[in-house]
Copies of this chain bind each other. A is one copy, B any other.
Amino acid sequence: MSKFVLVHGAWHTGAEFEPTAAAIRSAGHEVLTPTIKGNRPGDAKTAGLAEAIQSIVDYFIENNLSDVILAGHSYGGMVITGVADRVPERIRRLVYWNAFVPNNGESLNDMVPPHYVGMFDAIHAERGDGSVVLPFPVWREAFINDGDLALAQSAYDRLNPHPLKTFSDRISLSRNPAEMQIAKSYVNCTEDTALPHSFSWHPRLSEKLGLFRLVQVQGSHELCFTNPARLAQALLDAGRD
């Protein structure tokens, strides 16, 4: 039996990982799905990246977690990288699922195309509470391209505004991921166009891990909605020793 902690992406909470978690539990494992500070109901949308990371470090300590397979989705890659830097002794393996892989001093915005940064800034300025949301057409076509319109809409309705500061803050790490003495895997959904394929998740970001295990699976950036059982299998293949 292994112990998985699944860390969600921007606009999500841990609840959206529950169908995936249930499928992993069915295979006999323990799975936890915390929500990062800034995405919990009632959270102020002014949280920065350091607070986001600290909230998951705190979760590890409060729950006395060790020997964890720590998986992060998308923005969650920023968070698990920071957690691995703070409490490496509690982690058995890092699993990035179409996730950002930062080196010391990089922000999420440093790894996305400039037109995304411009779009986020414009939406942020309009909202005025520190948050950014994703326009539905972008979500439907580029994030959840493998679902039908009804699922795209119902999933969109569950998203929460995301604190933009977590995208622009630079991460502070004592060592880059490639130098971390922790096993690492990268799960790549082959139809994930949340980042354009000319500016890819894999291999552009995955190879920043140094030696890592690649698992690929058909699906979009939102396989947690469109095929959570398939995602669960990919996370199991990525997470095993």
Contacts and interface: CB of A to CB of B under 8 A. Distances in A.
Nearest to A211: B141
A196 interface: yes
Contacts of A61: none
Given A197-B214, A198-B204, 20 more contacts: A137-B211, A138-B211, A141-B183, A141-B211, A141-B212, A141-B213, A142-B212, A142-B213, A145-B215, A146-B215, A146-B237, A149-B240, A190-B216, A193-B213, A193-B214, A196-B203, A197-B202, A197-B203, A197-B207, A216-B218
A169 interface: no
Nearest to A200: B203
A48 to B, nearest CB: 30
Given A148-B240, A237-B146, A240-B149, A214 B198 contact: no
A241 interface: yes
30 contacts: A137-B211, A140-B213, A141-B183, A141-B211, A141-B212, A141-B213, A142-B211, A142-B212, A142-B213, A145-B213, A145-B214, A145-B215, A146-B215, A146-B237, A148-B240, A149-B240, A190-B216, A191-B214, A191-B215, A191-B216, A193-B213, A193-B214, A196-B203, A196-B207, A197-B203, A197-B207, A197-B214, A198-B203, A198-B204, A198-B207
- 5 residue pairs, one from A and one from B, having the closest CB atoms: A197-B203, A141-B213, A198-B203, A145-B213, A149-B241
